[in-house]
Amino acid sequence: MPPGAGTERQPFRISWELLGQASGHVRGDGTLDAMPRTLELLGGTWIELSGYYAPAIIAPSTDEVVLMLNRWDGCCIGLPPTPYDSALVKTRTPIDFSLQHQIRFGTLRGRLVLEPFALGGLVLGLYRIEDAELLR
């Protein structure tokens, strides 16, 4: 297990490499197929994860962001995220993006949910982080 206790006060400090271990364990219909044990144990625990984050919708402020391993602007700059190197994050309070670059790097703390999202035989997402706060 990664460092930490999995609680809000002492979250697990996880890496993208650890989350990437899910690759190959999610079927195209979104069902899970024998996930690595460490990932199963992390589900529902509090984590800290660092990465690039951008608003999930175009708005001056939002409480929904996408946290990614790689920098991506949604169009032309960087690498588009995969289900294994990105997470949809719901924050406790909105993050202000007004008058600032839409892509930033930071650390978020929240409760990890493993829930595949599939559409048309493609897995579009796997990780959600709820009740999150931006630590910067």
Q: How many whole angstroms separate alpha carbon 30 and alpha carbon 129?
A: 18
Looking at residues 83-109, what average pLDDT do you find?
A: 91
129 is a domain residue: yes
Q: How many whole angstroms separate alpha carbon 118 and alpha carbon 135?
A: 30
Q: CB–CB of 68/53 below 8 Å?
A: yes
77 is a domain residue: yes
Helix (H) or strand (E) holding 18: helix 16-19
> What's the confidence (pLDDT) of residue 116?
86
Q: How many whole angstroms separate alpha carbon 119 and alpha carbon 136?
A: 33
**Worst-scoring range by mean pLDDT, 43-47, 74-78, 92-96?**
74-78
Domain that holds residue 85: 12-134
85 is a domain residue: yes
pTM (2 d.p.):
0.91
Cα dihedral angle (110, 116, 117, 123), rounded to 10 degrees? 120
49 is a domain residue: yes
